[in-house]
């Protein structure tokens, strides 16, 4: 068993958390083919993504408190096993309704990795340390979305889209074993919380009424929704509208991931000389610039791959700087109930993102305009959330910075 603070523990936690982006990014190149096979439109196919996020959000509200009572490991292992079983169901689906249902069940299991990975980091480190560790963890995790669309495109081309879900199920099964034998339990016995309904509701009420938590969580949810708008619409824009081949989709997607990793590494580097909220503000400004550039190009009817990918890469630099700071800030006030705080944080993030993804699918006009506009709007909203909430109510040890600095 590894030490809690070892580098390998961080790497394995990153691999566990990576199941979330793998489950969304790997099958993106398959969305048009799934729609064709089942005779479904873009809005119905995108429900497999949006309802996955909705299930992911709801499940976190349950697994967080359970993990605060029984520990991170057993809940994470059970989640991975459920995900593996549901993945087989996805691969065997014969209609879009069955696929949507199995994706929802997939989400119930898959939520354990991200919510408990964040909680474990908060168990082990202080808020200031957690911001840096989360940035490092995010950089490692970025390997998943970097290779997932390319691998998914190859699987679709060579074996059909069901192979993607079989591969995801295999990964989840392996991670269940890895967590069982490699990652130590991070929850201290004295921090375990009772499972009485009154205690659970009391904990959630305390977390949800903390203005600092609300500010960081809303800022995160809005910027993540901009990212999810891209995930939801990118395959239809790049493959159907701009003519990118499914097997090449991942190569363009990797540019976005490179932007995200750049933002993560910048977050770590800047964290050595700036306060976390200073890094957060700079990331939001960069994200607004990227989203606004993409929307402006779409409005000017500049329709080509690079008019989408390069602004999105700039947006993702900002996202890479924002995400670790908001995660650490949201959980800073709750060291004894990190699982519940992480669950409510994740629920809000996924619920808002699911609405954003559904909006892109509903309004999709066959071009990049809707997707680009939604990304820009969410970026501006995230900056407004920072200015109105986070800047006025920062978490302890996370000093704010004036917008004019």
d(CA 69, CA 225): 31
Return the ∠ at Cα 168 (arms to 255 and 355), rounded to 5°. Answer: 65
pLDDT value of residue 284: 97
pLDDT value of residue 145: 65
Considering just the CA atoms, what is the radius of gyration of the chain in Å?
20
d(CA 332, CA 126): 8
User: Cβ atoms within 10 A of the Cβ of 184, count?
Assistant: 14
Contact 76/112 with Cβ under 8 angstroms?
Answer: yes
Closest to 314 in 3D by CA, of 298, 332, 291 = 291
Contact 378/222 with Cβ under 8 angstroms?
Answer: yes
Contact 332/212 with Cβ under 8 angstroms?
Answer: yes
d(CA 334, CA 361): 37
pLDDT value of residue 387: 95
d(CA 10, CA 15): 9
Closest to 117 in 3D by CA, of 11, 205, 231 = 11
Averaged pLDDT, groups of 10, the chain, 405 residues long: 67 79 82 85 79 81 81 87 95 91 91 77 73 68 70 87 94 90 76 74 88 94 91 84 81 83 86 85 97 96 93 95 88 78 84 82 85 96 96 70 36
Contact 203/65 with Cβ under 8 angstroms?
Answer: yes
User: Cβ atoms within 10 A of the Cβ of 7, count?
Assistant: 10
Contact 163/88 with Cβ under 8 angstroms?
Answer: no
Sign, CA torsion 143/111/271/277: positive
d(CA 67, CA 362): 36
pLDDT value of residue 305: 93
pLDDT value of residue 401: 38
User: Cβ atoms within 10 A of the Cβ of 188, count?
Assistant: 11
**Domains defined along the chain, listed by start:** 7-187+196-390 (1.20.1250.20)
């Amino acid at each position: 068993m590894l030490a809690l603070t070892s580098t390998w523990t961080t790497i394995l936690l990153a691999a566990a958390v990576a199941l979330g982006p793998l489950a969304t990014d790997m099958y993106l190149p398959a969305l048009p083919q799934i729609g064709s096979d089942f005779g479904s439109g873009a809005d119905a196919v995108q429900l497999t993504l949006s309802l996955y996020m909705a299930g992911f959000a709801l499940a976190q509200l349950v697994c967080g408190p359970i993990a605060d009572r029984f520990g991170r490991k057993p809940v994470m292992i059970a989640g991975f096993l459920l995900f593996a079983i549901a993945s087989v169901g996805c691969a065997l689906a014969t209609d879009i309704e069955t696929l949507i249902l199995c994706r929802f069940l997939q989400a119930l299991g898959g939520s354990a990795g991200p919510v408990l990975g964040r909680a474990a980091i908060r168990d082990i480190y202080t808020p200031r340390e957690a911001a840096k560790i989360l940035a490092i963890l995010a950089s490692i995790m970025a390997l998943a979305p970097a290779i997932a669309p390319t691998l998914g495109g190859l699987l679709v081309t060579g074996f059909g889209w069901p192979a993607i879900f079989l591969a995801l199920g295999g990964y989840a099964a392996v991670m269940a074993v890895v967590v069982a034998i490699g990652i130590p339990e991070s929850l201290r016995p004295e921090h375990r919380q009772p499972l009485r309904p009154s205690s659970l509701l009391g904990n959630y009420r305390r977390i949800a009424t903390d203005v600092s938590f609300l500010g960081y969580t809303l800022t995160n949810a809005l910027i993540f929704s901009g990212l999810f708008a891209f995930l939801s619409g990118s395959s239809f824009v790049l493959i159907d509208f701009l003519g990118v081949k499914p097997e090449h989709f991942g190569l363009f997607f990797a540019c976005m991931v490179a932007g995200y990793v750049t933002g993560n590494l910048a977050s770590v580097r800047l964290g050595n000389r700036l306060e976390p909220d200073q890094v957060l503000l700079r990331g939001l400004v960069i994200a607004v610039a990227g989203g606004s550039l993409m929307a402006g190009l779409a409005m000017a009817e500049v329709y080509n791959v690079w008019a989408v990918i390069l602004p999105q890469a700039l947006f993702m630099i900002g996202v890479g700087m924002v995400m670790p700071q908001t995660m650490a800030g949201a959980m800073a006030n709750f060291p004894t109930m990190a699982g519940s705080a992480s669950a409510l944080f994740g629920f809000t993030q996924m619920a808002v993102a699911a609405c954003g993804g559904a909006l892109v699918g509903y309004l999709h006009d066959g071009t990049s305009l809707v997707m680009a506009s939604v990304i820009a709007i969410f970026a501006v909203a995230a900056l407004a959330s920072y200015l109105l909430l986070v800047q006025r109510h920062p978490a302890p040890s996370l000093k704010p910075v004036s917008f004019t600095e």
